[in-house]
């Protein structure tokens, strides 16, 4: 009887270890899907550099209608002194995007939808252009970023009400 109890206990412990290991492996594999598309944590210093490289946002303006492209609003075309101009944080009515360039290749480091919007399609890059679409009650906002002279150059299009 004692041997049977020990075998049952050993079997139970082995099953618990296998289940725990399988669960941890599954979380590791799908972890990026659980935590969002960025998948990497930025240090406070990296966030500060990205914010310092971005000019303050301009006053809100009316979004374009009819699907015409429009450059992102900025107060200044020149980055602050000492700023890394290969990164750019830009805002649209649908959300905010952080884009980075390396030569002619662009990629989206992060994107966050505005309140009332959600992220639709994403073409993160690196490529000659990167895109993200925000969907919400205000319509669909398509954001495209290209690199010109090693700098991110964003444009966006607003499309009518469709959620």
**What pLDDT is attached to residue 129?**
93
pLDDT of 60 strictly over 70 = no
pTM recorded for the entire structure? 0.49
**DSSP character string of the chain:** -HHHHHHHHHHHHHHHHHHHHHHHHHHHHHHHHHH-S--SPPPHHHHHHHHHTSPPPPPP-PPP-TT--EEPP-S-SSPPTT--TTEEEEE-SSEEEEEEEETTEEEEEEEEEPTTEEEEEEE--SBSEEEEEEEETTEEEEEEEEEETTEEEEEEEEE-SB-
Q: What is the mean pLDDT of the chain?
A: 76
104-125 pLDDT, tens digit per residue, is 899 999 999 999 999 999 999 8
């Amino acid at each position: 009887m004692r041997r049977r109890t020990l075998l049952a206990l050993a079997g139970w412990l082995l099953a618990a270890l296998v289940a725990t290991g399988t669960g941890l492996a599954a979380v590791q594999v799908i972890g990026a899907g659980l935590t969002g598309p960025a998948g990497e944590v930025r240090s406070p210093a990296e966030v500060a550099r990205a914010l310092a490289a971005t000019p303050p946002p301009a006053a809100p303006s009316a979004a374009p209608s009819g699907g015409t492209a429009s450059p992102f609003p900025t107060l200044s075309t020149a980055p602050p002194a000492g700023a890394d101009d290969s990164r750019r944080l830009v805002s649209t009515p649908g959300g905010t995007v952080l884009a980075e360039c390396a030569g002619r290749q662009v990629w989206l480091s992060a994107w966050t939808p505005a309140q009332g919007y959600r992220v639709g399609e994403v073409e993160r890059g690196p490529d000659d252009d990167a895109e993200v679409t925000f969907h919400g009650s205000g319509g669909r906002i398509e954001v495209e970023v290209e690199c010109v002279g090693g700098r991110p150059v964003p444009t966006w299009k607003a499309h009518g009400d469709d959620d």
